[in-house]
């Protein structure tokens, strides 16, 4: 029996799906949505909040503000509610309605950015709004997931060790690239452990993270309009770029086998399948991919035929 006192006390990180049985890929999918925030972002959110408290920059009565496409905002809303802080999430029109409603249910304010900047898109516009809020009130703290070392540190201290404990003979890991916190934390952990693990980053078409051209992206979670400050490409062995229609196809293929995952998971699994087919065809490898969340927040988008028809060709 598990008994908890606070919502962040429960976060199961030891559930994996063997995709050989369902979609024929030699890949173990690490499911990170078994917590009250519904995603892997609970790890980074917890460590950024606790780190700020320990450094004395986050004190009782203060307000936390963060830019988020959805999952981190939900996690921080939950933490703020349980720890007695106010929280403002600055997001944009791509954030799913269910994520916005969840944040509001937890007591957060949601500021919706409706117009992207010409240089940097919605992300740059969100960050500008965050800075405006902070400039007007000294009791507002921006955790700044884009450069906060506790973002990638959460995965260095938790996610990387969890994977190696489950798969001591790990050969390849596939990680989606958003803020690159999960990617950098895992990659640095494997490197520092002296493990010859091939780290493959999965990004989306229209993201500038790895030098691609900026383009329209409709599915929140992965990709950026501004290159993440914490990205160190020397830690990454290869990069796969996935189109959003490939993301949708993979999400629905997994759903047809009974697994309803989120858009980021569909992107990562699609990229992993392509990479394995090209680089390790027919091989029985030990490979792990990250599944950041489940599909409940995507029922009106990825799993909605009318919405899918609006995606650019």
**Checking DSSP bridges between strand 86-92 and strand 63-67, what pairing results, if any?**
parallel
What integer pLDDT is reported at residue 212 of this predicted model?
85
What integer pLDDT is reported at residue 215 of this predicted model?
81
Buried b (16+ CB within 10 A) or exposed e, 128-152: ebbeeebeeeeebbbbbbbebebbb
More confident position, 275 or 13 = 275
Residue length of the chain: 313
Torsion (CA) 274, 32, 182, 85 in degrees, nearest 10: 150
Query: Angle at the Cα of 203 (from 76 to 300), degrees rounded to 5?
Result: 60
What integer pLDDT is reported at residue 281 of this predicted model?
93
Buried b (16+ CB within 10 A) or exposed e, 69-93: bbbbbbbbbbbbbebebbbbbbbbe
- At 23-53, the pLDDT tens digits run 999 999 999 999 999 999 999 999 999 999 9
Per-domain residue ranges for the chain?
7-31+158-305, 41-142
Q: How far apart are the first and last CA of the chain?
A: 50
What integer pLDDT is reported at residue 265 of this predicted model?
95
Contact between residue 86 and residue 80 where contact means Cβ atoms under 8 Å apart: yes
- At 138-161, the pLDDT tens digits run 999 999 999 999 999 999 999 999
**pTM for the complete prediction?**
0.94
Q: Would you place residue 299 in the very low, low, confident or very high pLDDT band (cuts 50, 70, 90)?
A: very high
What integer pLDDT is reported at residue 51 of this predicted model?
97
Count other C-beta atoms under 10 Å from residue 204's C-beta.
Answer: 29
What integer pLDDT is reported at residue 311 of this predicted model?
87
What integer pLDDT is reported at residue 207 of this predicted model?
92
For residues 208 and 231, what is the distance between their CA atoms, to the nearest angstrom?
12
- At 176-209, the pLDDT tens digits run 998 899 999 999 999 999 999 999 999 999 899 9
Torsion (CA) 93, 174, 147, 34 in degrees, nearest 10: 70
For residues 70-97, give the mean pLDDT.
95
What integer pLDDT is reported at residue 104 of this predicted model?
97
For residues 155 and 44, what is the distance between their CA atoms, to the nearest angstrom?
8
Q: Would you place residue 117 in the very low, low, confident or very high pLDDT band (cuts 50, 70, 90)?
A: confident
Fold of 41-142: Rossmann fold (3.40.50)
What integer pLDDT is reported at residue 259 of this predicted model?
97
Contact between residue 234 and residue 201 where contact means Cβ atoms under 8 Å apart: no
The CATH architecture of the domain made up of 7-31+158-305 is 3-Layer(aba) Sandwich (3.40)
Q: What are phi and psi of 113, to 5 degrees?
A: -85, 125
**Checking DSSP bridges between strand 109-113 and strand 28-31, what pairing results, if any?**
unpaired
Q: Give percent of the chain above pLDDT 70.
A: 100
For residues 255-259, give the mean pLDDT.
96
Same fold, 7-31+158-305 and 41-142: yes
Closest CA to 264 of 311, 301, 306, 231: 301
Closest CA to 14 of 23, 26, 2, 5: 2
Sole residue written with tokens 């949708």: 248
Contact between residue 26 and residue 96 where contact means Cβ atoms under 8 Å apart: no
More confident position, 122 or 155 = 155
Among 61-65, 161-165, 178-182, the minimum mean pLDDT is found in: 178-182
Q: Residue 54 above 80 pLDDT?
A: yes
H helical segments located in the chain: 41-55, 71-83, 97-105, 121-135, 149-154, 160-166, 181-192, 244-255, 263-279, 305-308
More confident position, 206 or 270 = 270
């Amino acid at each position: 029996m598990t008994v908890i006192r606070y919502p962040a006390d429960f976060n199961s990180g030891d559930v994996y799906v063997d995709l050989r049985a369902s979609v024929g890929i030699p890949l173990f999918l690490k499911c990170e949505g078994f917590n009250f925030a519904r995603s892997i972002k609970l790890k980074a959110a917890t460590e950024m909040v606790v780190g700020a408290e320990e450094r004395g920059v986050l004190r009782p009565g203060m307000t936390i503000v963060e830019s988020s496409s959805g999952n981190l905002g939900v996690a921080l809303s939950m933490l703020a509610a349980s720890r007695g802080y106010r929280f403002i999430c600055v997001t944009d029109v791509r954030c799913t309605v269910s994520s916005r409603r969840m944040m509001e249910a937890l007591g957060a304010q949601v500021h919706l950015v409706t117009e992207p900047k010409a240089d940097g898109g919605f992300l740059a516009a969100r960050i500008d709004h965050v800075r405006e809020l902070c400039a007007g009130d000294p009791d507002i703290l921006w955790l700044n997931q884009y450069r906060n070392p506790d973002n990638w540190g959460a995965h260095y201290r938790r996610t990387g060790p969890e994977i190696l404990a489950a798969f001591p003979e790990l050969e390849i890991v596939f990680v989606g690239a958003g803020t690159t916190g999960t990617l950098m934390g895992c990659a640095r952990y494997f490197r520092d452990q002296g493990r010859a693990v091939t780290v493959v980053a999965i990004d989306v078409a229209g993201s500038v993270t790895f030098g691609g051209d900026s383009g329209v992206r409709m599915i929140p979670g992965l990709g950026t309009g501004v290159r993440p400050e914490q990205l160190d490409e020397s830690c990454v062995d290869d990069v796969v770029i996935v189109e959003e229609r490939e993301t949708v196809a993979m999400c629905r293929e997994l759903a047809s086998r009974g697994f309803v995952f989120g858009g980021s998971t569909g992107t990562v699994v699609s990229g992993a399948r392509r990479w394995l087919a090209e680089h390790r065809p027919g091989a029985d490898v030990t490979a792990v991919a990250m599944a950041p969340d489940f599909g409940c927040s995507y029922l009106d988008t990825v799993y909605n035929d009318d919405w899918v028809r609006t995606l650019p060709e």
